[in-house]
């Protein structure tokens, strides 16, 4: 039996250090906006390669506060358009709609599953305020072509790095440091996961960092003085301390994910199961190991009968959700590549706590799907 994700085992990998960190905070009597948060922010900023890391309540808030801060500083207008991949988790889109901005959905490429740069180019208008890329599944989505579009047009790049902590662009820079600002989620199941909700923004922009820090703390720069109508979006000291521990092991944990992934790459062989384009080691931190199959639902049932847990990322694309389907950017729109991915995608188990024996069990189970 192989679970899709055994979080208990993932935590146990660094269990002693985590328990010590939690107990230190409990005994310190200081639970918000203290030493642990400052320490993690400093270490995470250095890890990503940015001047600033600002911790917030979760990944959605991180993305949303970046856009809000861009509005507050006059870099986005009320009717600005934000270019975003059509195949993403809904949070990316909600960060845009929450700010009253206009999502402009762009299809991914079939082989990489990442936003198509030609599609971005065609979607640019005088109202484009930002290009938001998503390093979906842990795969770097940044390309020299996207870099060129941003350079030529002056449109800022924002990264959704919720699924790709530790990933790199081919020149060695980490995802999360490639644009104006990036949103990170530390939801427990992410590569760098807390024991609850948490998130962060990274940026090199001093002004943006300053505004985001205020916005997440009721809009206050100084105690009891409020420049903005802000929100309460902060990180617990306990979560910051846990993340500081796990950050030290992140590269090693991601290396373990890569080993599992390479096992699947070389041991899964079927004509009716497609593995998305394999990327150089550093450019994919394998948050998810997706495969595509026209027989997805059969494969899911077959794996389940063999005791292998899987999840679909994601069964319904954002533009087809009940919550959004009457929105102007979704209604009557069709995104065939996105819809194909959503109808064929299945995620196999992967985590730093998995063994190669378990990976073999999964690969055998996949390969034993009866021919149709």
Residue placing its CB nearer to ligand PLP in the complex, 342 or 366: 342
As a residue count, the chain comes to 372
127-186 residues in contact with ligand PLP (CB under 6 A) are 134, 160, 162-163, 185
Residue 299 CB partners (closer than 8 Å, separation 6+): 273, 291, 293, 310, 346, 366, 369
CB of 270 to ligand PLP, least distance (A): 28
CB 307 within 8 A of CB 368: no
Nearer to ligand PLP, 158 or 365 (CB): 158
- Does residue number 59 form part of the binding site for ligand PLP (CB under 6 A)? yes
Q: What character string, x for contact with ligand PLP (CB under 6 A) and - otherwise, covers 208-237?
A: ------------------------------
What contacts 24+ positions apart, CB below 8 Å, involve 314-318? 314/89, 314/90, 314/342, 314/345, 315/342, 316/342, 317/86, 317/87, 317/342, 318/86, 318/88, 318/90, 318/92, 318/93, 318/105
The residue among 91 and 366 lying less far from ligand PLP, judged by its C-beta, is 91
Contacts to ligand PLP from residues 179-198, by CB under 6 A: 185, 187, 197
Computed over its alpha carbons, how large is the radius of gyration of the chain?
Answer: 21
Exactly one of 129, 176, 193, 199 binds ligand PLP (CB under 6 A); that residue is 199
**Residue 242 interacting with ligand PLP (CB under 6 A):** no
| Site track for ligand PLP across 255-284, x = CB under 6 A | ------------------------------
Phi/psi at 250 (5° precision) = -65, -45
Q: How many angstroms separate the CA atoms of 156 and 332, rounded? A: 29
Q: Which residues bind ligand PLP (CB under 6 A)?
A: 58-60, 88-89, 91-92, 134, 160, 162-163, 185, 187, 197, 199
């Amino acid at each position: 039996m192989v679970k899709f994700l055994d979080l208990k085992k993932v935590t146990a990998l660094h269990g002693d250090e985590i328990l010590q960190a939690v107990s230190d905070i409990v005994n310190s009597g200081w639970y918000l906006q203290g030493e642990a948060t400052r320490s993690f922010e400093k270490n995470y900023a250095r890890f990503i390669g940015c001047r600033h890391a600002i911790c917030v309540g979760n990944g959605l808030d991180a993305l949303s506060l970046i856009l809000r801060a861009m509005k507050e500083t006059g870099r986005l207008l009320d009717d600005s358009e934000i270019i975003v991949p059509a195949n993403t988790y809904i949070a990316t889109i909600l960060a845009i709609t929450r700010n009253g901005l206009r999502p402009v959905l762009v299809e991914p490429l079939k082989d990489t599953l990442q936003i198509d740069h030609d599609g971005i180019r065609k979607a640019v208008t005088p109202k484009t305020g930002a290009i938001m890329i998503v390093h979906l599944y842990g795969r770097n989505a940044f390309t020299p072509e996207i870099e060129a579009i941003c350079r030529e047009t002056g449109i800022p790049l924002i990264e959704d790095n919720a699924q790709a902590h530790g990933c790199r662009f081919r020149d060695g820079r980490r995802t999360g440091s490639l644009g104006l600002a990036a949103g990170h989620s530390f939801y427990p199941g992410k590569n760098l996961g807390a024991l609850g909700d948490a998130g962060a923004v990274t940026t090199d922009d001093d002004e943006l960092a300053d505004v985001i820090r205020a916005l997440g703390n009721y809009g206050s720069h100084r105690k009891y003085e409020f420049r903005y109508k802000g929100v309460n979006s902060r990180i617990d000291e306990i979560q910051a301390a846990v993340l500081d521990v796990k950050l030290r092991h992140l590269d090693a944990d991601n290396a373990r994910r890569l080993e599992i992934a390479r096992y699947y790459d070389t041991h899964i062989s079927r004509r009716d199961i497609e593995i998305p384009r394999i990327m150089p080691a550093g450019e994919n931190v394998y948050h998810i190991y997706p495969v595509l199959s026209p027989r997805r639902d059969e494969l899911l049932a077959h794996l389940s009968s063999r005791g292998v847990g899987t999840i679909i990322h994601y069964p319904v694309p954002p533009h087809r959700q009940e919550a959004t389907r009457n929105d102007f950017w979704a209604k009557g729109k069709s995104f065939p590549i996105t819809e194909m991915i959503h109808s064929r995608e299945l995620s196999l188990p992967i985590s730093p706590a998995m063994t190669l024996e378990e990976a073999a069990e999964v690969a055998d189970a996949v390969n034993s799907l009866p021919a149709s």
